[in-house]
Amino acid sequence: MNATAPPESAPMLCLRAETAADLMTANPVSVRADASLREALALLIDRGYSAAPVIDEAGRPVGVLSRTDVLIHDRECVEHLIPEVEFYEGELHTDDNEALGEGFQVERVDPTRVSDVMTPAVFAVGPEASPARVVREMLRLRVHRLFVVDNDGVLIGVISALDVLRCLQP
């Protein structure tokens, strides 16, 4: 018969932060609501972000753009192909009739703006909010991130679930 030792109890975890300011990532990279979706998507992919706050001209958050928002837009956006020739006879020209030369291609530009696709909800706390409130709000709202705004409503930080986990210590 094998004797087994009683399982060790897991150590209690403690959130080592006193305020939302201690948890947040300050000065987050954000996108403007009037930016093109293509520009915003390049930012998300190049930086490895899953989402970015969307701000207005005054720096106040007006929504969030996530990769999920982009995927939903792509799924809902049905584009019917227009029969086109597979090649062009002669040279391509600009609107000013300037020849483009070899190596240029014609691309259909998507006019979609970030404001057309973003989630227009802003869930925010002040920098003095307690970590317990931050966690409660994230759980209650079922969100992965909260914005941190100053008294004027200007975005000063973002708290992600990963930021909270980073501050957990035994």
Q: What's the pLDDT tens digit per position in 103-147?
A: 666 666 778 999 999 999 999 999 999 999 999 999 999 999 999
For 30-67, what is each residue's pLDDT tens digit? Answer: 999 999 999 999 999 999 999 999 999 999 999 999 99
48's tokens = 């490895």
Strands 124-125 and 168-169: unpaired
- pTM for this entry: 0.75
Short-list 40, 36, 31, CA closest to 158: 31
Cα–Cα distance measured from residue 23 to residue 159, given in angstroms and rounded to the nearest whole number: 6
- Mutual angle of helices 67-76 and 37-47, in 10-degree steps: 140
The token pair that represents 159 in the structure block: 């708290």
Domain spanning 16-78+110-169, CATH architecture: Roll (3.10)
**Rounded-to-integer distance, Cα 12 and Cα 17, Å:** 16
Which bin fits 127, alpha (ψ -120 to 50), beta or left (φ > 0)? alpha
Please state the φ and ψ torsions of residue 118, each to the nearest 5 degrees. -60, 160
Is 124 within 8 Å of 149 (Cβ atoms)?
A: yes
Residues paired with 147 in a beta bridge: 124, 158
Query: Can you give the residue ranges of every domain in the chain?
Result: 16-78+110-169
No. of helices (H) and no. of strands (E), the chain: 6, 9
